[in-house]
């Protein structure tokens, strides 16, 4: 391709990405996908995957066209078309049957058994295939689906809001608000994407969070996980809102067999769900938690703290993705609350790093996010290790 053709392809692919995002929060565990059909340099039909179990973006676009594509038509799609029948039929076969002669694709299917198969099927049918257009953007669109498809486990992603020196609260526990309204609104957007949010018992006791996504006039409640290995929250003088509000049936306390069956019964009696995951200690076993999420088809969990929970997930090498919102302020106080702790990082090679990093700005605040990469050797300070 030449630069002019690249620019044309990227322009139409950006429109397909815009369409894909209309399914934000509705498609899990399926991916977000957008598609456009172009004839003579003009978009003549559009489609996106709107919900799990619904028609795929390519089919929606072809149905919206309502006729056979013109001989020079090009289909743009953000993800490699599916090559298996599934619940909605093979998109590769639908494209072939429609008579589309050229397909431009963004990301490759992350399923190891499917990756590149759609390309081959289309080419065998005599269809021109152009792949990798805005590949990084199209791949980033489906963080959860990509992880779920490649590893068969939920994506555990954590979010923190910090000062420039990595603090999340003053020594007097003052933290509202470190970041501005635009950054906090973006957090709600991510909450809407993930099927579940998780916090530790300490965060619930200290902040009594609602753990819902609030976008405009809409409030949406995902599954709300509370990690409480000893069921200590039940002993609080007043139960937190996640146990008593009208969304309490969406609250799941994750505990161990050491928490006490009496408390478990009381929680269930008021409409709160309880997962008892096997554990040799009072700490919640994250590997067992992941397995339960797989059984329940929960493809991603958005972890909002506190710092102890997130730090210990890092110590366990169980955190898959990290999002850090930074505000242009400094506490410069050793006794202020740090976002992360618990490691003994003696050399740079022992540091936890992020890859596939993306940066975004929200007013004066700055977001850095990426997949966690753990060092070959990582020492944990056992004196602060106390998950659950």
- Known catalytic residues are 58
E-assigned strand segments in 94-191: 102-107, 128-130, 155-162, 167-169
- Say if residues 144 and 293 touch (Cβ distance below 8 Å): no
For 101, counting Cβ atoms within 10 Å of its Cβ (0-12 exposed, 13-18 middle, 19+ buried), the class is: middle
Q: Which tokens hold the place of 318?
A: 């169980």
Q: Which tokens hold the place of 31?
A: 């991916």
Q: Is the peptide bond before 29 cis (omega within 30 degrees of 0)?
A: yes
- Say if residues 101 and 130 touch (Cβ distance below 8 Å): no
Alpha-carbon span 46 to 77, nearest angstrom: 10
Q: Do the strands 167-169 and 337-338 form a parallel or antiparallel pair, or are they unpaired?
A: antiparallel
| Residue 104 main-chain phi, psi, to 5 deg | -110, 125
Identify the three-state secondary structure at position 97.
helix
């Amino acid at each position: 391709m030449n630069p002019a053709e690249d620019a044309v392809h990227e322009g139409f692919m950006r429109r397909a990405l815009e369409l894909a995002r209309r399914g934000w929060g509705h498609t899990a565990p399926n991916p977000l996908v957008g598609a456009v059909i172009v004839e003579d340099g003009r978009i003549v039909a559009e489609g996106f995957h709107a919900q799990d179990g619904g028609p795929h973006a390519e089919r929606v676009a072809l149905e919206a066209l309502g006729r056979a594509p013109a001989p020079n038509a090009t289909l743009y799609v953000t993800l490699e078309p599916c090559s298996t029948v599934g619940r909605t039929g093979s998109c590769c076969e639908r494209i072939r049957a429609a008579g589309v002669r050229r397909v431009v694709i963004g990301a490759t299917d992350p399923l190891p058994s499917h990756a590149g198969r759609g390309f081959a099927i289309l080419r065998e049918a005599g269809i021109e295939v152009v792949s990798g257009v805005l590949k990084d953007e199209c791949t980033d669109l489906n963080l959860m689906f990509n992880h779920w498809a490649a590893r068969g486990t939920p994506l555990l992603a954590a979010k923190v809001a910090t000062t420039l020196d990595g603090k999340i609260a003053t020594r007097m526990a003052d933290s509202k608000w470190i970041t501005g309204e635009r950054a906090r609104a973006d957090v709600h957007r991510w909450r809407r994407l993930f099927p579940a949010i998780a916090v530790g018992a300490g965060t619930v006791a200290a902040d009594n969070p609602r753990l819902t996504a609030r976008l405009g006039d809409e409030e949406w409640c995902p599954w709300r996980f509370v990690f409480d290995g000893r069921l200590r929250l039940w002993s609080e003088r007043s139960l937190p809102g996640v146990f008593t509000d009208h969304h309490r049936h969406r609250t799941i306390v994750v505990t161990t067999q050491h928490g006490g069956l009496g408390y478990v019964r009381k929680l269930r009696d008021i409409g709160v769900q309880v997962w008892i995951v096997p554990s040799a200690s009072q700490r919640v076993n994250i590997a067992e938690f992941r397995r339960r999420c797989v059984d329940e088809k929960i493809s991603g969990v958005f972890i909002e703290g506190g710092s102890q929970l997130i730090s210990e997930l890092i110590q366990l090498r169980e955190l898959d993705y990290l999002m850090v919102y930074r505000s242009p302020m400094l506490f410069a106080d050793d006794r202020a609350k740090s976002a992360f702790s618990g490691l003994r990082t003696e050399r740079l090679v022992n540091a936890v790093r992020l890859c596939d990093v993306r940066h975004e700005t929200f007013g004066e605040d700055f977001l850095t996010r990426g997949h966690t990469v753990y060092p070959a050797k990582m020492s944990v300070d056992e004196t602060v290790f106390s998950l659950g």
